[in-house]
């Protein structure tokens, strides 16, 4: 059931697992996770809220979606082999990081403005629309962008921000070192 797709979305809701496996379905998921780890996979739980609750209530678990995903992130080569271009991944990373920095929502105009520094307008609109269709982003009637189920399932926000901040720190150190080496 964790591998099935319903309406183009993989996985199954918590209440469906409870109905099929009984009230102790979380124990079954833990056992399955132990076996899937051997294959480099894991059962991921995505909650409807932006942030994962520390101790989810029964209602939150009922509404959460459970599905199987890779345990480790894809490499750049694997991502390109799966149909993603490097610039598309970069645009998604910038968009996700910006939305995270704005506590889970950001106006589409602001995201477009940031992406305009590196990408042409047509590419930005194409990528944002594609990310909405694929479930990485959702957009409301006020053109606010949010992280959707797929971004919350496939992207580790802490790791993404650490990568970005780590790169920014190394660039700052490199710039500082170069300025120290310049003759006066």
Q: How far apart are CA 30 and CA 157, in angstroms?
A: 23
| Whether residue 86 sits in one domain with residue 54 | no
| Whether residue 89 sits in one domain with residue 61 | no
Give the tokens for residue 69. Answer: 């995903």
Nearest to 155 by CA among 46, 29, 34: 46
- Is the residue at 117 inside a domain? yes
| Whether residue 64 sits in one domain with residue 28 | yes
Q: Which pLDDT score is estimated for 176? A: 53
| Whether residue 55 sits in one domain with residue 91 | no
| Whether residue 150 sits in one domain with residue 87 | yes
Q: How many domains does the chain have?
A: 2
| Whether residue 99 sits in one domain with residue 51 | no
Q: Which pLDDT score is estimated for 158? A: 82
| Whether residue 98 sits in one domain with residue 55 | no
- Is the residue at 97 inside a domain? yes
- Is the residue at 176 inside a domain? no
For residue 74, the 8-state DSSP code is P
69: exposed, middle or buried (Cβ count in 10 Å: 0-12, 13-18, 19+):
middle
Q: How far apart are CA 87 and CA 142, in angstroms?
A: 27
Residue spans of the chain under pLDDT 50: 184
| Whether residue 161 sits in one domain with residue 81 | yes
Backbone angles phi, psi at 143, to 5 degrees: 60, 35
| Whether residue 50 sits in one domain with residue 104 | no
- Is the residue at 175 inside a domain? no
Q: Of 39, 72, 105, which residue constitutes the final position of a domain?
A: 72
26: exposed, middle or buried (Cβ count in 10 Å: 0-12, 13-18, 19+):
middle
Q: How far apart are CA 184 and CA 173, in angstroms?
A: 19
Q: Distance of CA 171 to CAs 89, 124, 177, Å?
A: 21, 26, 10
| Whether residue 53 sits in one domain with residue 29 | yes
- Is the residue at 63 inside a domain? yes
Q: Distance of CA 98 to CAs 5, 72, 91, 161, Å?
A: 29, 23, 11, 10
- Is the residue at 181 inside a domain? no
Q: Which pLDDT score is estimated for 129? A: 92
Q: How far apart are CA 183 and CA 136, in angstroms?
A: 49
Residue ranges making up the domain that contains 18: 5-72
Q: Which pLDDT score is estimated for 184? A: 47
| Whether residue 59 sits in one domain with residue 86 | no
| Whether residue 57 sits in one domain with residue 89 | no
């Amino acid at each position: 059931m964790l591998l099935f797709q319903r309406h183009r979305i993989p996985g199954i809701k918590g209440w469906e697992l409870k109905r099929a496996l009984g009230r102790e379905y979380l124990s079954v998921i833990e056992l399955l996770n132990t076996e899937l780890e051997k294959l480099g996979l894991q059962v991921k739980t995505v909650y409807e809220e932006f942030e994962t609750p520390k101790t989810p209530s029964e209602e939150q678990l009922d509404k959460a979606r459970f599905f199987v995903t890779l345990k480790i992130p894809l490499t750049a080569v694997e991502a390109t082999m799966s149909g993603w271009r490097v610039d598309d991944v970069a645009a998604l990373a910038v968009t996700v990081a910006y939305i995270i920095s704005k506590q889970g929502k950001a106006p589409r105009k602001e995201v477009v403005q940031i992406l305009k520094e590196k990408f042409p307008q047509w590419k930005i609109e194409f990528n944002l629309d594609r990310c909405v269709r694929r479930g990485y982003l959702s957009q409301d009637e006020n053109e606010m962008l949010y992280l959707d189920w797929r971004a919350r399932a496939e992207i580790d926000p802490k790791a993404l921000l650490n990568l970005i901040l780590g790169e920014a720190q190394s660039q700052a150190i490199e710039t500082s070192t170069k300025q120290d080496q310049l003759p006066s």
